[in-house]
Amino acid sequence: MSKVSVFAVSILSSVKCWLLLCLIVLLVSGITAIGILRAQAQDDFVSQAVGPAQASQRETGVPASVTIAQAILESEWGRKHIGEANNYFGIKATVRADGTVDYGRIAIDWVWAWTKEWDGSKYVDVKARFRKYRNMTDSFRDHGYFFLENPRYAEAMRHIDDPDEFARQIAKAGYATSPTYADDLIRFMSDLDLYQYDLKRDDAQFVNQSAYPTVQAGQSFQIYFEVKNAGFGTWRRDENYYLANINNTPLGANPRQELDSDVPPQAIKRWTISMIAPSTPDVYRTQWMLKHGDETFGPNMFIDVTVVTAPEDDWRRIIERIRQALERLLEDLRRRLEEIMKDWQRRMEQEMEKAIQRFLENLARELERAIQETCSGPAALLVGTCALAFAKSRQSGRKR
């Protein structure tokens, strides 16, 4: 073989190796890209399912982790939800005795679809009726109520605080025909850490509270806290839910503030607490948490209360000043009445003197006239002079 031929073969071999290498790189890149896209699609589906699953848990108590795992398994990561039926769990419709189809109270209709079922030894294709929903949220809600309202799953509903056991119980009750159904659900929940999306039965979210008050010693005042029920359980009056003071500083309030009404999930409750400021000026922190029985939950809430000395014109001094003012008014009234009485007495005496004087003057005139009419001469003059002198002496005596 000539040198040219050998060189050509070498070049061709290098090109083949290069092309093969490129093909391998493209293949690996494609597989990697497909894996990335698939992983991204799976993450997107989980993110999309979290909200409806938690909403269902608030309504029904069914663990969100189980709901998401079932949606993954039943719909193959959301790719197969029976077309426009939006049925992510393969929940079937049933035929009533009268031949009508029962598709529940949340679904809007039903559809025919093919599915695979385990016949005891192998999977077989069967055509069945399935419920149809407006959207994913309704499908998830109906899934929760399917367990809540079906007596067959009563035992599972006793384990809503244990997702793994819940999965075992629904499988045991015949939710699916697959013999590995419970194990498959638990594997998804564990591998994807779907437990992180489970709501707590008892949980609370801080919303708002009153401002830190400044009050006078002995003054009555109120504070408040607003919290949202962030769990899936309802806070009930008869189930020992209450707000508790946790630092032994209730400031005159009952350290156990009872519920006045039930608080369902997502509802906001305002706790208003009436207090009395201590007599010693200082800054007092009063600290509160929600309790269910002996277990605390939710945010640790507190308010700092600043107590100051009452000002000089506090209510005791005000009352004393009012008392003193009343005493002064009464004393002034007494003096005024005395002056009025003295003036009235003086006026009465003057009027009496004037009346007596007029009487005596009239009497003298009458005597004088009578004497003149009955007597004459020196005798009449003498009697008249005596009467006049008597009247003048009486008048002179009154003036003295």
Question: What is the DSSP track for 202-226?
Answer: S-EEEEEEPPPPEEETT-EEEEEEE
Pair 148, 67: CB distance under 8 Å: no
Give residues with Cβ within 8 angstroms of 119, minimum separation 6. Answer: 177
As given in the structure block, the two tokens for residue 277 are 């400021």
Pair 116, 124: CB distance under 8 Å: yes
142 is catalytic: yes
Q: Which of 142, 198, 202, 203 is catalytic?
A: 142
3-state SS assignment for residue 398 = helix
From residue 200, give the alpha-carbon distance in Å to each of 9, 65, 232. 72, 12, 6
How does DSSP classify residue 92? B
Closest CA to 328 of 124, 320, 340, 302: 320
Closest CA to 167 of 145, 154, 183: 183
Measured CA to CA, the distance from residue 238 to residue 258 in angstroms comes to: 10
3-state SS assignment for residue 78 = coil
320 is catalytic: no
How does DSSP classify residue 91? P
Q: Which of 102, 117, 149, 332 is catalytic?
A: 117
- 115: which strand partners? 126
Measured CA to CA, the distance from residue 182 to residue 336 in angstroms comes to: 102
Pair 296, 268: CB distance under 8 Å: no
Question: What is the DSSP track for 168-198?
Answer: HHHHHTTS-S-TTHHHHHHHHHHHTTGGGGP
Catalogue the active-site residues.
Answer: 117, 142
